[in-house]
A and B are shown apart, each in its own frame.
Chain A
Amino acid sequence: MVNWMLSLEVIGILIYATIVGFIFMGIERKAMARIQRRVGPPIYQPIIDTLKLLGKKESVSHGIIYDFGPVFALGATILALLFLPIANFRLFSTNADLIVVAYLLEVPMLGIMLGAMSSGNPYSALGVQRGLLTMVAMQLPYGLALIALVQHWGTFKLNELVALQQAHGWSILVPALFLAMIVFDIVFQAMLGLEPFDIITAPAEISMGPMVEYGGKHAALLFTQHAVQLFAETAFFTILFLGGASNLLELFIKQLAVLFIAIFVASIYPRFTIDQAAKFFWKWPTILGIIAVLLTM
């Protein structure tokens, strides 16, 4: 009854995604450092950070929901990851389509928000407010980009999207979908929480926002969540626009390419305020998104 092959794949991918996610975080820091002519930390630095946080002698808590928040966030991220087809591993991806996965990738946010809200810290609350408003703002162009994609390929199934792209060329080679990719890439910056849309955490303004109260193992959980999320989201981008991948190495290279664009943008742009972000998202990306959608009708 139990599908041992699938179980092994799931465990393997989980470990791989976590490690690579951490490496991506390291690459992000390293690249940012090099852009600013610093040496920067070693690539494996986030792993060390997380292990240190896990090794703290005591954690503080504001109640059950405060503990449950990060656990739920990590759990939901794992859920989202397992429904993506990762390179040649299909995992559970035949059981959920694009809309489900797009939703699942947003569920972890609820966990972080829940925990942050239950801490009762005003900085957390501000972070939650900004997080939700960012989501409201980015959702329209995000939706339009996905709709353009689905209308062009005529399917919601991720595996079919990959197969179609491998047969007919990548999504970005289609002019309309290239527009959709630009829109998605702008939104992607907000999804990853990078400048100019790192409004949620905004370290210099609201002391890390939702994460302000978290330390010790809670913070370790959130770090791990961020790593897995980073992996899942870059993989999602690859699947949608870069034709997926037939093996993990190809996937890794494509993910890295996506990540580097995000890093380059992030390192030269200052942060938007939240109302600027809302107005921005409802202007250019939305217009581009509508054009892309109309072109694929």
Chain B
Amino acid sequence: MSNELLIILLSPLIAGVLAWVLDIKGVRELIGLVGAAVPVAYLAKLYSTVTNEAITYSIKVSGFNLGFQLNTITWYFAAIASLVGLAMALGMVSTSKSSYDWLFALMSYTGVLGVFLSQDFVGFFLFWEIMTFASFMMVLKRNRHESLKYFVLSVIGAYSMLIAIGILYAKTGALDFATIGKVLYMDASLGTIGTGETALIFGLLLAAFGVKAGMFPLYVWAPGAYSENDQSYTAFFSGVLSKAGVYGFLLLYMLMFYKLYAALGTFHGHMTFAYIIAWLGAITVVVASFLAVLQEDIRKLFAYSSIGQVGYILLAFGIGSGLGFAGGLFHVLSHAVFKGLFWLVTAAIILRTGKTQFKDMGGLAEKMPYTFAMGMIAVLSLAGIPPMAGFASKWLIYEAAISAHMPLVAGSIFLGSALAFAYVVRFLYAVWFGQRPSDLEDVKEAPLPLLIAMTVLAIPNVLFGVAPGIVTGYINKMLGGEVVTGNYYKLVTPTGTYNALLIAIVLVIGLAIAGLVYLYGAKVRKIKVTNTYQSGNPVTEEFNLSIRKNFYRPLAEALGFWLRYSWDRFYERLAGVVEDFADTLRESSYNGNVQSYSWYLAIILLILALWGVL
């Protein structure tokens, strides 16, 4: 049994290295695919075992004991990661032409799996760094500035995590999750670890996981890093790597829940620390969604949207009730599948047209019908149209937020979902509909592997949408109680119900009735796009009828005041200040003047003398 975990963990990495070494066209793709598919196969095989008892494996490496465990929670995250990983590999067969990409994409796959499966901080941190490094290398190849921005923020996150681990180790004397959890649980009533220290650990871990999850105000790396990348890889980057941060928050709860509750107390009936997370999530949702609406680049739009959707998960975890966790965990799945699908669609568009700006695109629905259909599924799921997976998860979050009496947080979800509606429609309009620019006349449908990859991710969107009970049933097992009841098709919470299958059926009936009215009417004659109403004037091909630039200009104007402030600019300026300071320091202290160096010596001697050493 124990070897299986190792195979799951290492097969992507080994495949990546092999693909890199061999570097023969055709072979590297095959190896990469196999390496990505192995974890999926093993995780599927182990499903029935995991639900009964956890599978553990441990190995001794340089004095550290690395423990891995496949239990209900880690299986869920690993399964999502491997599903999106498989789709990524399929997509990369079409979009990536270099073995460099295969090496680092698969390396980050292993990194993520390691993060999810680790049972102690040694393995967790090790794989966390592998994941960060591999994804950094993917960006570095394409854009140095964006990659360094990502790297510096990730390093800040990682080392604040290291400091937190250090403090935890000093206080508890253990590195494995089980012991730390136990010790902190006991300490909740004893209180040997003070409030200040607990708050410090909490803050450090919040920063560490917040960077990866793209939490406000640490999200600035995401738009650049998600854009300047192979878009098939971004499906994994935004779909799964951001979930490592989310998993970190879950870990925070598992390890420190009672301790944080005891140390930080409550605020108006909510646990203070959870309330902070909920508000950070809510602000992330609103800010990132507003920014997504105003983007002019397809990749930037989805990057901000991805940040916003992960904000939903943080918000849900911050609610702190069982229902909140159920909604958040469900949204982990649905975000991974619909955002993965979005990035694959983007990959197909960029592969076939070579353009990324909305102003260069239009009317592609006729040229790439299958990709369009897949894009529609993703749009429906993200906008939260019942019966899609995106709605079921969002519905749970709504219920949780309102029942927990967090009205303003819940209000931000309402705003966020309307904004989500607005930006997906922007994507639909600018890319798929309207007039087609003349240089896009010979665009072809996306290649087959990419289409298969999209299908792989489209199926769960629909399946878990119509039958959300499959997921919530599993989540109940993870949370160890009947949080969301009902059957495969119907979700029942203490306050509400949602019957997805019935909604799907009634929608079909409604469409049938409307279709009958449609069929009753007269025959349809198809006309060209340019044969249209233009205040009664004739229109020719030279006119550009589609609004491709600044579609949401009025919104930008209404928000003018707020848009003057930007975290991106703030960090750039901060980096500039630090750089200037480093320059000043170098020029003032290493000034080449022999006398000043002897002065330094004199000052040191003086200090030592005052200290009483001499």
Residues of A within 8 A of B (CB): 14, 54-63, 65, 67, 70-79, 82-83, 92, 94-100, 103-104, 106-107, 110, 113-114, 117-123, 125-126, 128-130, 132-133, 135-136, 139-140, 142-144, 146-148, 150-151, 154-157, 207, 212-213, 216-217, 220-221, 224, 273-275, 278-279, 289-290, 293-294, 297
Contacts and interface: CB of A to CB of B under 8 A. Distances in A.
A290 B555 CA distance: 23
Contacts of A294: 407
Contact of B429 (A78, A125, A147, A275): A125
8 contacts: A14-B513, A61-B526, A62-B526, A63-B365, A79-B506, A128-B425, A135-B421, A216-B521
A54 B514 CA distance: 13
Contact of A136 (B496, B522, B546, B555): B555
Contact of A67 (B507, B509, B518): B518
A123 B385 CA distance: 26
Shortest 5 CB-CB contacts between residues of A and residues of B = A217-B521, A143-B414, A156-B496, A97-B496, A78-B510
A99 B399 contact: yes
A75 B513 contact: yes
Contact of A107 (B385, B398, B414): B385
B384 interface: yes
A118 B499 CA distance: 32
Interface in B501-526: 502-503, 506-507, 509-515, 517-518, 520-526
A60 B527 contact: yes
A130 B555 CA distance: 10
Contacts of A104: 386, 503
Interface in B355-385: 363, 365-366, 383-385
B495 A157 contact: yes
B521 A121 contact: no
Contacts of B503: 79, 83, 95-96, 100, 104
B553 to A, nearest CB: 8
Most chain-A CB neighbours within 10 Å: which of B429, B497, B499, B514? B514
B419 interface: yes
Contact of A220 (B510, B521, B523): B521
B391 interface: yes
A156 B399 CA distance: 8
Given A65-B433, A125-B434, A132 B405 contact: no
A282 B272 CA distance: 28
A213 B434 CA distance: 13
Given A82-B506, A278-B554, A58 B514 contact: no
Contact of B522 (A73, A120, A157, A216): A216
B513 A157 contact: no
B547 interface: yes
B183 interface: no
B518 A100 contact: no
Interface string B518-561: 10111111110111111100000000011100011011011000
A185 B395 CA distance: 24
Given A74-B510, A92-B506, A117-B428, A129 B526 contact: no
A249 B484 CA distance: 38
Contact of B415 (A76, A139, A155): A139
Contacts of B546: 120, 122, 125
A100 B525 contact: no
A154 B402 CA distance: 9
A154 B403 CA distance: 8
A136 B419 contact: yes
Contacts of A139: 414-415, 417-418
Interface string B468-481: 00000000000000
A94 B496 CA distance: 9
A266 B525 CA distance: 38
Contacts of B395: 99-100, 103
A120 B529 contact: yes
B373 to A, nearest CB: 11
A94 B421 CA distance: 27
B264 interface: no
Contacts of B530: 120
A201 B509 CA distance: 28
A273 B524 CA distance: 36
A75 B514 contact: yes
B511 A75 contact: yes
B325 to A, nearest CB: 18
B69 interface: no
A217 B518 contact: yes
B490 interface: yes
Contacts of B385: 103, 107, 110
Contacts of A70: 514, 518
Contacts of B434: 117-118, 120, 125
Contact of A120 (B402, B435, B515): B435
B532 A120 contact: yes
Contacts of A62: 526-527, 529, 532
B476 to A, nearest CB: 20
Most chain-A CB neighbours within 10 Å: which of B365, B407, B531, B547? B407
A11 to B, nearest CB: 10
B153 interface: no
A136 B415 contact: yes
A252 to B, nearest CB: 23
B365 A76 contact: no
B435 to A, nearest CB: 6
A147 B400 CA distance: 12
B506 A60 contact: no
Given A100-B498, A144-B414, A279-B558, 14 more contacts: A58-B525, A61-B524, A67-B518, A73-B514, A74-B513, A79-B503, A92-B506, A118-B365, A118-B433, A128-B425, A133-B552, A139-B417, A147-B402, A290-B407
Nearest to A156: B496
Nearest to A77: B510
A220 B518 CA distance: 9
B408 interface: yes
B415 A95 contact: no
A72 B386 contact: no
B422 interface: yes
B394 to A, nearest CB: 9
Contacts of B386: 100, 103-104, 107
B200 to A, nearest CB: 32
Most chain-A CB neighbours within 10 Å: which of B363, B398, B419? B398
Contacts of A125: 429, 434, 546-547, 551
Contact of A129 (B363, B435, B552): B552
B502 A95 contact: yes
Interface string B245-275: 0000000000000000000000000000000
B503 to A, nearest CB: 7
Given A74-B510, A129-B552, A213-B532, A98 B496 contact: yes
A95 B407 contact: no
B354 interface: no
Given A60-B524, A151-B407, A92 B533 contact: no
Contacts of A130: 554
A68 to B, nearest CB: 9
